[in-house]
A and B are shown apart, each in its own frame.
Chain A
Amino acid sequence: MTGAIYAEGLVKTFGDVRALDGVDLDVPEGTVLGLLGPNGAGKTTAVRVLTTLLRPDSGKAVVAGVDVLRHPNEVRRLIGLSGQFAAVDEYLTGRENLQMVGQLYQMSGRDAKVRAGELLDQFNLADAADRPAKTYSGGMRRRLDLAAALVVRPPVMFMDEPTTGLDPRNRLGLWDVIQDLVAGGTTLLLTTQYLEEADRLAHDICVIDHGKVIARGTSDQLKARTGGERVEVVVHERERLTEATEVLRGFGKGETKVEDHMRQITVPVTGGAKLLAEVIRELDSRGIEIDDIGLRRPTLDDVFISLTGHVAELKEDAV
Chain B
Amino acid sequence: MTAVSATPTATPQPRNAVIRSARDSLVVAKRNLIRMMRIPEVVIFGLVQPIMFVVLFSYVFGGSMKVGGTTDPGVYREFLMAGIFAQTVTFATAGAGAGIADDMHKGLVDRFRSLPMARGAVLTGRTLADLVQTTLTVIVLAIVALIVGWRVHEGIPKALGGFALLLLLGYAFSWIGALIGLTVRTPEAATSGGLIWLFPLTFISNAFVDSSQMTPWLRHLADWNPFSATVQACRQLFGNPGVSQSPAWPMQHPVWASLIWSIVIIVVFRTLAVRKYRHATS
Contact = CB atoms under 8 A, between A and B. Distances in A.
A154 B107 CA distance: 21
Interface in A164-194: 170, 173-174, 176-177, 179-181, 183-186
B4 interface: yes
A51 interface: yes
Interface string B3-14: 111111111111
B106 A118 contact: no
Interface string A61-98: 00010000000010011110101011111111000100
A89 B35 contact: yes
Interface stretch (A101-109, A220-228, A274-282): A101-109
A251 interface: no
B95 to A, nearest CB: 15
Given A174-B1, A180-B5, A184-B8, A73 B111 contact: no
A23 B235 CA distance: 64
A100 B3 CA distance: 22
A105 B115 contact: yes
Nearest to A176: B3
A103 B27 contact: yes
A79 B116 CA distance: 9
B48 interface: no
B16 to A, nearest CB: 12
Contacts of B154: none
A132 B34 CA distance: 11
B114 A51 contact: yes
A104 B112 contact: yes
A283 interface: no
Nearest to A184: B5
Given A76-B115, A173-B1, A176-B3, A87 B106 contact: yes
A154 B108 CA distance: 20
Contact of B6 (A86, A105, A184): A184
A107 to B, nearest CB: 9
A92 B31 contact: yes
Interface string B26-68: 0110110011001100000000000000000000000000000
Given A105-B11, A177-B1, A132 B38 contact: yes
Contact of A83 (B3, B13, B107): B107
Interface string A123-136: 11000000010000
B111 A101 contact: yes
A183 B7 CA distance: 9
Contact of A155 (B8, B30, B119): B8
A135 B30 CA distance: 21
A153 B106 contact: no
Q: Which of A86, A92, A103 has the most CB of B within 10 A?
A: A103
Contact of A183 (B5, B34, B114): B5
Contact of A153 (B8, B12, B30): B8
Contacts of A184: 5-8
Contact of B35 (A51, A91, A105): A91
B213 to A, nearest CB: 47
B4 A122 contact: yes
Contacts of A55: 279
A305 interface: no
Q: Which of B24, B38, B279 has the most CB of A within 10 A?
A: B38
B9 to A, nearest CB: 6
Given A76-B116, A180-B4, 14 more contacts: A77-B116, A96-B31, A100-B27, A100-B30, A104-B24, A105-B117, A106-B116, A121-B2, A153-B7, A176-B2, A177-B3, A181-B8, A183-B5, A184-B6
8 contacts: A48-B110, A87-B107, A91-B38, A118-B4, A123-B1, A173-B1, A176-B1, A176-B3
Shortest Cβ-Cβ A-B pairs, 10 listed: A173-B1, A180-B3, A87-B111, A77-B11, A76-B116, A77-B116, A153-B8, A155-B8, A87-B107, A91-B35
